[in-house]
Structure 1
Amino acid sequence: MTGPQNLETKARHVKATWSRHCNVVLFMSSVQDENFPTIGLGTKEGRDQLYWKTIRAFQYVHKHHFEQADWFLKADDDTFVVVDNLRWLISNYTPDTPIYFGKRFRPFAKQGYMSGGAGYILSKEALRRFVAGFDSKVCSHTTSVEDLALGQCMEKMGVVAGDSRDTEGRETFHPFVPESHLTEKFSKNFWYWNYCYYPIVE
């Protein structure tokens, strides 16, 4: 996920680094740019457009690239992914299992939902069900809070919110910049304490 204003400042660094370890890489934007290249989703820019961009991006991927991959990662242009670690995480699951992974938050959905800032990855079956949810009108654009809305749709469509912690119980998806997680102490009245599905280890 990117925007026209971020191609040179953010997206090009994603293009030059971790995304090269993916099988297929698509840069989604509000407008098409054949030079970068980006796929235009026909939306506006801004936080209130994030869920529309996500819906249309997954619909586009389902229509044009569904058979090219088993797992589908959504990441923003300020996200860094260690792709080998991600492959290791999903190696215990099959793509026909309706499951998705990310940084799991607790409120507003029975099984929780995945933080958009940390990125999340859908199995092939999870992507199929997400798109089917909009085709059948079971899911709709309910709120501009993209990650929560996606999580609520997943729950309705029977897609499981997976446990993305490693074999030692450590989180593998992180919503803040690395130094926040490594060196900062979160104030006890910071919203993060109430949102995290699993206990926070400082």
Structure 2
Amino acid sequence: MKKRTLWITLAASVTSFLIGYFAACLVRSEPNRELDEHREQVETTDYSFTNVSVLCWVMTSQENLFSRAIHITQTWGGRCNLTLYVTEGSPNRPFPGIVLTLPVGKGRNELWMKTRAAFTLIYERYYADYDWFMKVDDDTFVIVDNLRYLLASKNTSEPLYYGFSFRHPQFNLDYTSGGSGYVLGKEALSRFVKVAYDESVCPSGHSVAKAAEDLMMGLCLSAAGVRVGNSLDSQGRIRFLVFTLDNFIDGNIGDWLPRFIAHNITTGIDCCSSYAVSMHYVQPSMMYLLEFLTQHLRLASESKDHNYQVNGTQIPI
């Protein structure tokens, strides 16, 4: 009983944090300098940000397809132009998404091999059809509209990739977190594939990075001349969240994170961009809460089209 009460209290706390954060973002009435500055950047491009095409692939496993990945199919997964679910084994029953099965082993030590094989196969099959290629974990929530909004002012022909930036002191390397997702443009993906199986610059494994696919990805991309691009908003706030939103709001980000980040971060209600792209370590139930908050919750004051009905008479808000 005590355990159940603890979980209920924790769920209520997390929910209140999330609702408070999104409400604060929605009700701010002062001019949005970030929106104005970014809109100027986007309007200099040849197309609307809604036309940016993105292939998303989800790192999952045979055992997690129906406990984790399936919830992505019911929430944000359908908003990418194409979403693939990459596993090491075929599902044992019908799955409501496109499953890409690779001949790799199970477990964390195989994540790098799975990543390398997935990006290579995606390059061979889909390179010509999409502008950007994003990898995420099966417990990541992506706000795809905001992803496109970020990428609209970026050039897919530049050797850059985007995500939450880590800096590894041993390798003197900037790279991106795999959990919150990273996104490669055409040039970055093309360069990666050309060196992906060159063991001299992109080894199958490393004593330090064997279980860290994001670090191995960073080492290989760096060897190919691909750099981490700036994904911070105009106020220096992060868009890719390596933890859940409430972790950043309440400052529960651990002691290790500040030692491995490539830029300053803050905590509290202004921790993160109003145009956040992704959040990691999201439980299935929270996927649906985030889906509601980002896709369905609206303020009546946002539009003059909203009306109350009183005794059959429409009264504008």
| Partner of residue 141, structure 2 | 80
Select the residue among 107, 114, 118 that pairs with 1:53.
114
Select the residue among 71, 74, 96 that pairs with 2:157.
96
**1:181 offset after TM fit, Å?**
1.4
Select the residue among 132, 139, 142 that pairs with 2:194.
132
Structure 1 residues 110 and 16, CA gap change in structure 2 (3 angstroms): same
| Partner of residue 232, structure 2 | 165
**1:134 offset after TM fit, Å?**
2.2
Task: Judge conservation of contact 2:86–2:101 (CA < 8 Å) in 1.
Answer: yes
The yes-or-no answer on 1:3 pairing with 2:61 is: yes
Stretches of 4+ aligned residues off by more than 2 angstroms:
32-35, 108-111, 134-138, 184-187
Task: Judge conservation of contact 2:174–2:262 (CA < 8 Å) in 1.
Answer: yes
TM-score by length of 2: 0.60
| Partner of residue 256, structure 2 | 191
Structure 1 residues 181 and 31, CA gap change in structure 2 (3 angstroms): same
Structure number with the higher strand fraction is: 2
**1:149 offset after TM fit, Å?**
0.8
Count residues in correspondence: 200
Task: Judge conservation of contact 2:237–2:265 (CA < 8 Å) in 1.
Answer: no
The one-letter amino acid of 1:114's match is: T
Select the residue among 35, 44, 59 that pairs with 2:94.
35
Q: Deviations over 1:115-147 (max 9, x none)?
A: 111110000111111110124443222332211
Structure 1 residues 30 and 71, CA gap change in structure 2 (3 angstroms): same
Task: Judge conservation of contact 1:29–1:41 (CA < 8 Å) in 2.
Answer: yes
Matches within 5 A, 1:15-26: 15-26=73-84
Q: Distance in 1 between matches of 2:253 and 2:111?
A: 27
| Partner of residue 296, structure 2 | none
Instruction: Give the share of equivalent positions with the same residue, in percent.
Output: 37
Q: Distance in 2 between matches of 1:186 and 1:134?
A: 33
Q: Distance in 1 between matches of 2:171 and 2:147?
A: 25
Q: Give secondary structure in 2 for the equivalent of 1:75.
A: strand
The yes-or-no answer on 1:117 pairing with 2:148 is: no
Cα RMSD (Å): 1.6
Structure 2 alignment gaps of length 5 or more: 1-58, 268-317
**1:186 offset after TM fit, Å?**
4.0
Matches within 5 A, 1:170-181: 170-181=237-248
| Partner of residue 141, structure 1 | 204
TM-score by length of 1: 0.93
